[in-house]
């Protein structure tokens, strides 16, 4: 049974992993939940969070994002811009979506597809490599930038 990721369920998830549900972690989580569709960096989260509670430190943001990724609430991405970017992990996706990264404006959009599952099987069969996960990114130009050129 797949538990839906409400604020409360995530707090419980923290407790189940014996992490304390601190005021700071709640604020960071709440802030993140208001930007479900975005791919935020630690610094960006820090800025958003500071608006709600200026006392929170950057190190705490880094630590909290790490923990949320570790317990499966967030996904940590690397889009090649020199900083990690986090997004809310959808409750209903067994294997995650792919990313379309615009080489001009940096905008990140998404693409769903399960073709990679079969490719993982091919790899495990053809090579001696046991595949656990994959990461697929497409680089190109978004509609807006393509039209502007």
86 vs 88, beta carbon nearer DNA: 86
DSSP state letter for 41 = E
53 vs 81, beta carbon nearer Zn ion: 81
- Whether the CB-CB separation of 105 and 15 falls below 8 Å is answered with no
Question: What is the b/e burial string over 103-131, where b = at least 16 CB atoms within 10 angstroms of the residue's CB?
Answer: eeeeebeeeeeeebeeebeeeeeeeeeee
Contacted by 87, from Zn ion, Mn ion, a second copy, none: CB < 5 to 8 Å by type:
Mn ion
Which of 32, 65, 85, 87 is in the footprint of Mn ion by CB under 5 A? Answer: 87
Write each residue from 34 to 73 as x if it is in contact with a second copy (CB under 8 A), else as -, in one continuous string.
----------------------------------------
Smallest gap, in angstroms, from Cβ of residue 110 to Mn ion?
A: 5
Tell me the C-alpha to C-alpha distance, in Å, between residue 25 and each of 62, 70, 119, 133. Answer: 11, 14, 38, 28
How many residues bind Zn ion (CB under 5 A)? The answer is 6
Which of 6, 104, 119, 148 is in the footprint of Zn ion by CB under 5 A? Answer: 104
The residues in 2-21 that bind DNA, with binding defined as CB under 7 A, are 15, 18-21
- Whether the CB-CB separation of 142 and 102 falls below 8 Å is answered with yes
């Amino acid at each position: 049974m797949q538990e839906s990721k409400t604020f409360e369920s995530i707090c419980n998830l923290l407790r189940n992993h014996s992490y304390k549900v601190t005021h700071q972690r709640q604020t960071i989580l709440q802030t993140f939940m208001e930007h479900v569709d975005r791919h935020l960096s630690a610094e960006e989260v820090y800025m958003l969070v500071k608006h709600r509670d200026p006392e929170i430190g950057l190190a705490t943001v880094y630590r909290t994002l790490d923990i949320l990724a570790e317990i499966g609430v967030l996904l940590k991405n690397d889009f090649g811009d020199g900083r990690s970017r986090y997004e809310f992990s959808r409750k209903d996706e067994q294997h995650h979506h792919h990313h379309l990264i615009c080489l001009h404006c940096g905008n990140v959009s998404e693409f769903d597809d399960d073709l990679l599952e079969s490719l993982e099987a091919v790899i495990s069969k053809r090579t001696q490599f046991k595949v656990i996960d994959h990461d697929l990114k497409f680089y190109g130009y978004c509609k807006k930038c393509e039209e502007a050129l």
